[in-house]
Amino acid sequence: VFAYERPVGFEDVDAAGIVFFSRFFGYCHEAMEAMLAPLDGGYARLIVTRKLGLPAVHVEADFRSPLRFGDVVRIETTVERLGTSSVALRFDLARGADAIATIRHVVVLTNLETMRSAPLPDDVRAVLARHAATT
C-alpha cells in the first residue's frame, strides 16, 4: 500500500459546494504518479522522454461521502493485479477515519507514439510490485 495525501483544491468544488466527482480521478492519478516517483526521472520522464503512458481503460468508483474545501484526503493505493501490460489499481480515499470513496483504475502501458499497448518495462513493474496486494 502506498499512501498519498493532498488537500482539496480551492477550485475543485462544484456549484453544489462539494468536490466535483471527476476531480477524484485526478487525485487518484496524482497518487499513481507519486507511487511511480522512484522511477528514474519519475512519471514525468516516462511520459515525456520514454513516450510511455498508463492511460485508463476501465474505471469504477463508489462515492460514500463528499469532500469539501478544507478537507485533506488520504489515498491508499494498492496494486491489485499486475499483468503483462495492464495494471489494476485500487485507491481507498479517506478523510481521517471517514471512508470517502473506493476507486479502481485499470491502466495499460501504452506507447504514446503508436497508441498501442506494450509490456510493462522492468523498472515500472518493479516499482508497482512493491505495492502489490498481498493475499
| Residues from 37 through 96 that contact a copy of itself (CB under 8 A) | 41, 43-45, 47-48, 53, 55-64, 66, 68-70
From the list 23-31, 80-88, 90-98, 116-124, the region that binds a copy of itself by CB under 8 A is 23-31
Q: Is 88 exposed, middle or buried (0-12, 13-18, 19+ CB in 10 A)?
A: middle
Among the options 14, 71, 122, 123, which is catalytic? 14
CB 94 within 8 A of CB 74: yes
Least separation in angstroms between CB 21 and a copy of itself: 5
Does residue 14 carry a catalytic annotation? yes
Distance CA 73, CA 81 (A): 24
From the list 5-13, 74-82, 90-98, 117-125, the region that binds a copy of itself by CB under 8 A is 5-13
Q: What is the largest CA-CA distance in the chain?
A: 44
Give Cβ neighbours of residue 117 (< 8 Å, ≥ 6 apart).
85, 86, 108, 109, 110, 111
Please report, as ranges, the residues that interact with a copy of itself according to CB under 8 A: 7, 9-11, 13-18, 20-26, 29-30, 33, 41, 43-45, 47-48, 53, 55-64, 66, 68-70, 112, 115
Catalytic residues: 14
